[in-house]
Amino acid sequence: MIRLSCWMIPVLIYLIFVSGADGFRGITIPLDPSLLSEQDGREMGFHLSMSDLEFKKIEKEDTLLSTFQSLSVSPDILLMWGEGGRGFMVGYRFNIKSEVNADLLKTISDYMVNERRFTSRTDLNLHYRMIREDDIIIGVGKRIGGAEIGCRLSLYRQTLKKGEIISEMRLTATHGEDVNPNDPRQLIPAIVNGLKYDLE
């Protein structure tokens, strides 16, 4: 299914330009559509909010570092017009909330004497979860005598994506037969000089 934002945002931008909006305001999409009966003229609005910003370290066994990050972003775009006690609106809102758990596991190292090879492995695990909410809103309000009535229609869709990414950082090094593995003064420089990096 094509994302609503792929065509809804261009449609709203087009309507804003062809409607000849009289002004611009930083407002959110109204929850009460009866308030549209007070709308006079054409206006466009935009609002951006960020929330749930969090970064923290988590204590876990067998990990060098474990963190949790989260962030929510929610922009609104809105077009309103009205006169004579009647008002209309077309709006679009989408909200993205993401959460990521990152675990950097402890390093495991091996040295194989017969193969004259050193290996070091460090695993990085990422667990992610993203919720996307798309909402197209159409509203109308009208004043009848001393009363204000309104109607609001919403086309809403929620998409959830989650998964796990596992990667391994590996360091390897080999040395020649001329290096004595029992002599750290020879072995350590030989390993450092021959290190190769690989990420899987």
Query: Which value, in Å, is the radius of gyration of the alpha carbons in the chain?
Result: 30
Residue 125 CA, distance from chain mean position = 18
Number of structural domains found in the chain = 1
Structure tokens at 104: 């950097």
Residue 200 domain-assigned? no
Distance between CA atoms of residues 165 and 35, nearest Å: 48
Q: b vs e for 148-170, b when ≥16 Cβ sit within 10 Å of the residue's Cβ?
A: bebebeeeeeeeeeeeeeeeeee
pLDDT at 131: 93
**115-159 per-position pLDDT tens digit:** 889 998 888 899 999 999 988 888 999 988 888 899 888 888 899
- Looking at the DSSP bridge assignments, the partners of residue 74 are 49
Bigger pLDDT: 23 vs 109: 109
**61-113 per-position pLDDT tens digit:** 778 889 999 999 988 888 888 888 888 888 888 899 999 999 988 888 898 88
Domain containing residue 17:
5-106+128-163
Residue 175 domain-assigned? no
Helix (H) or strand (E) holding 74: strand 63-83
Distance between CA atoms of residues 92 and 137, nearest Å: 6
Residue 195 domain-assigned? no
pTM of the model: 0.64
